[in-house]
Each structure stands twice: as structure tokens, then as C-alpha cells.
Amino acid sequence: MGEKGPLFILAGNGPYENRGCEAIVRGTMEILREYFQDPRCVCLSHFQNEDQFIKQVEHETNDAIIHLASRKLSKKRIQRSFWKLETWHGLFNYYFDRNAFFSWVYRDMLPYLNDTAAVLSVGGDNYSLDYGVPTHFTALDDLVLAHERPLVIWGASVGPFSAMPDYEEYMCDHLRKVTGIFVRESATVEYLESIGVAENVYPVADPAFLMEPIKPAGIEREMPLDEEAIGINLSPLMAKFVTGGDLERWTKVAASIILKVAETTEMPVYLIPHVTSPHSDDSSFMQRVVSLIQRKNENIALLSSKYTASETKWIISQMAVFAGSRTHATIAALSSGVPTMSFGYSIKARGINRDIFGHTRYCLGPMDLEAETVTDRIISMCDDGQKIRMELQYRIPEVQKSALHAGSGLRRIVEENIHAQSIGCHPPL
């Protein structure tokens, strides 16, 4: 691979304003450094706007990472550039030539493909129906495989697709073509086996379990460090699952939960944002929640959204108990040994909890999210806090070892591909 270290493309991720997306990158770099000498990464991510992309480039702290943005054919872009031939080509391809369209979407990645050791499709739960049919991600796979490069779905939850039987059949065929599927919980392994996808599946753990926490400078001014506190993360996304998409009603439910927890436990409650993207902002949502709490409660504080994923993990690590709706916020807590309640709506939370604890008692589904139930569960976890911490102290090193072991499977795929190229054939899955 020459004097430089191997190049990997991390494609399909969201912006760092989703701390989970950043945590995946940070953890992945830990894995790559363990198994490859001086690895380099091109991160091609989906951004909502150019300012978001520029901010991420300017604030990147790892010199081994180059950021690129996928191309978007948005209404605003069309209006701004309607006179450009490229815009009309994009529109034509969108409707009449989808392969050409997705080659345009991922065009900035193409110059790096021939030199890449492997493309890692990252982002956690992209290959599911939680956010609609994952066309952008299957198109990414097809593009990479057409260029005969190894394509790994990396540290992911996959499916289920059973709500759309015809699409499930398509995904079954598609997933068999992928070089490797590195899945982060046993529930995904079981689902893939049930639809006949097994030979290219590698059980691992989420790479975010390996991200190191970093103490934010001056955090003492925002959060006293000498008292036990409860951390809570609530997202606007949960409205889809709790109130059928009624955000106003979910805001009221969230306010009742937070107030009940604060009043009953008499402990400080810190509201901790984990995603602050324009289309899904925990911080602005929880600000509206706080504004609904009529009686002033000195014990409730919304923390700033300025912190990075590593800094947010450090803050979460200081909590006596943490309850969160964002998967990677709960991973930050669990990997720090903090008793954690997951507000789960999909395979992710239940699967991760089952793999760590052997049960899902620390998981609450959308129908359980009301003030009394959440408060009772938090009080119970406070009472059992020492026992839960000891269990996490025993289990998390094994989970982190599993996350790190993903590098071993990746190295084997890379080496097989290099060998296959040297003898002029394609590597087996």
C-alpha cells in the first residue's frame, strides 16, 4: 500500500451534529489504528447544507480524516442552479437513470475508490425502515461493488424489512452480495439468519463503545461535579412512536416526565442533547419542554449543545443514572458504566440491552413513556445502582473487545481482496 497507510472510505454517515455519527467515526478510528498501520479515512457524509459541512471540516481534530459531502438534488439547489446544465442532468437522471443519478450523488467519492482498502458503510441503522426505504445506501453498495471494491456494512443494525415483504425479498438478495455485514447486536444476526443471510455476517459491537471521553474545558461552570444527578436525553423523533407524530402532545408528555422525575427524586436533572441537526434538534425540543414546566424547578437544567461526542460522553459518565432516547447517548452511558434506561422504539435498544444484560428490563417502549412509569423505573435503577454498575464493569470490557475484534474481520477481507487482485480473480465472500 506504499509509504502511506491504507485508505478507508467511511460512507453514508450523517454530520457530527449527530453525536452518534461522530462517535461511530471516533470508535472506528480506534479499531483501524489497532489493526492497520497509519490508516487514513475519507468520510463521505450526508449533510443538510453547506454550512454544516464547512463547520465539520473546520472542527475536525484528526488529521487522518478527510471530509467529503454527498451531493443533494434539493429544491433549494434546483432553484439556485436551475440555469446550470449539471442541474438538468441531475433531474433527468433522477427520473430516468437511477444508476447515473447515484453516481452523481457519490461523485466526490469516486476518485478515491481505486485506492481504497475497503468502503465501510457507516451510520448505525441506515439499513432499516425506521427512516424510510434505504435507497441511498443500497445504491452506495451497488456503486462500490460495481467498482470491485470490498463493501462492508459496518457496526450496523439491519432490518427488519418484514413490513414490506417484496422489499424484504429484494434486501435478502442485496445483502448476500455485500462483502461483509458487521452487525452490532444478536437480534440483527437472528433476523438476517431468518431471511437466509448468514455467510457474510460478522457479529461485533457498536464501534462507539470504544470512543474515549474527553472532559470539556470549563464544564464546572455549567455543571457542579460534586453531586449525584440524573441525565435525561429526549428527542423530537420520539413523537413518531409515542404520539403518532403529534409533536405538541409529545412535548407535553416529555415535560410531565421530566418534572415528575425531578420532584420525586429531588435530585438534579440534566437534560443532555445528543443530536442537534436542523431537521431533528434535541436541544431546541428540550428547551420547549422546559418552557412548559409551569412551576420553576431549580433542579432542572438544559446543558449546552456545544459539546463534541467525546465531551458529551464525559458529561454522561458523571451521571448517577442516565435515561435516553438516542441510541448512541445510551451507548455513551453504558460504556461509561452508568446505569442506563433506554427509551427504545426499534431493534437497536432492545438488542443492545439484551446482549449486555441478557434481558430488556432497562428498556422502555413508546407505550411505556409516561411520567409515573419512567419515574418508578429511574428510582428503581437508583436503588440498584451499585449492582448495575458492577454488572457493567464486568460486561463492558467484553463488549469493547467485540467492537475492537471487528478490525480482525476487516483485515481478513482486505487481505483476501489484495490476494485475489494479485492472482486476477475476485475474493470469495
- pLDDT the model gives residue 1: 41
CA 19 to chain centre: 8
Looking at residues 14-27, what average pLDDT do you find? Answer: 94
10 Å Cβ neighbour count for 428?
A: 9
Band of the pLDDT at 278, cuts 50, 70, 90? confident
Looking at residues 102-127, what average pLDDT do you find? Answer: 88
- pLDDT the model gives residue 78: 41
Residues 6+ apart with CB under 8 A from 112: 7, 9, 42
Ranges of H-type helices in 195-324: 239-242, 247-265, 282-292, 309-317
- pLDDT the model gives residue 260: 94
Structural domain includes residue 257: yes
Structural domain includes residue 389: no
Asked if residue 193 and residue 270 are part of one domain, the reply reads no
Asked if residue 148 and residue 224 are part of one domain, the reply reads no
Asked if residue 403 and residue 378 are part of one domain, the reply reads no
Distance (Å, whole) CA 21 – CA 308: 11
Which of 41-45, 118-122, 217-221 comes out lowest in average pLDDT?
Answer: 217-221
Q: What percent of the chain has pLDDT over 70?
A: 90
Structural domain includes residue 2: no
Asked if residue 161 and residue 49 are part of one domain, the reply reads yes
Band of the pLDDT at 32, cuts 50, 70, 90? very high
Asked if residue 224 and residue 305 are part of one domain, the reply reads yes
Residue span of the structural domain in which 297 resides = 219-338+340-383
Q: Which of 125, 56, 6, 65 is nearest to 277 (CA)?
A: 56
Structural domain includes residue 238: yes
Contact present, 48 and 277 (Cβ < 8 Å): yes
Structural domain includes residue 75: no
Looking at residues 107-132, what average pLDDT do you find? Answer: 88
Structural domain includes residue 82: no
Class of residue 221 by CB neighbours under 10 A (exposed 0-12, middle 13-18, buried 19+): exposed
pLDDT tens digits for range 138-192 = 989 999 999 999 999 999 889 899 999 999 999 999 999 999 999 998 989 999 9
- pLDDT the model gives residue 133: 85
**DSSP H or E stretch at residue 409:** helix 385-422
Contact present, 122 and 24 (Cβ < 8 Å): yes
Asked if residue 303 and residue 272 are part of one domain, the reply reads yes
- pLDDT the model gives residue 48: 83
Structural domain includes residue 201: yes
Q: What's the number of domains the chain is made of?
A: 2
Looking at residues 362-376, what average pLDDT do you find? Answer: 93
Band of the pLDDT at 83, cuts 50, 70, 90? very low
Asked if residue 417 and residue 352 are part of one domain, the reply reads no
The residue with cell 483501524 is 32
Structural domain includes residue 12: yes
- pLDDT the model gives residue 3: 59
Which of 19-28, 38-47, 58-67, 117-126 comes out lowest in average pLDDT?
Answer: 117-126
Asked if residue 140 and residue 190 are part of one domain, the reply reads yes
pLDDT reading at 193 higher than 60:
yes
- pLDDT the model gives residue 82: 46
**DSSP H or E stretch at residue 157:** none
Distance (Å, whole) CA 138 – CA 73: 18
Q: Which of 81, 377, 80, 11 is nearest to 230 (CA)?
A: 377
Q: Is the peptide bond before 15 cis (omega within 30 degrees of 0)?
A: no
Q: Tell me, what CATH number does 134's domain have?
A: 3.40.50.11720
Q: Could you tell me the pTM of the whole model? A: 0.89
Which of 108-112, 225-229, 267-271 comes out lowest in average pLDDT?
Answer: 225-229
Cell digits for 337? Answer: 458504566
The residue with cell 422502555 is 364
Asked if residue 293 and residue 319 are part of one domain, the reply reads yes
Asked if residue 205 and residue 277 are part of one domain, the reply reads no
pLDDT tens digits for range 371-393 = 999 999 999 999 999 999 999 99
Asked if residue 321 and residue 257 are part of one domain, the reply reads yes
Q: Tell me, what CATH number does 349's domain have?
A: 3.40.50.2000
Asked if residue 357 and residue 230 are part of one domain, the reply reads yes
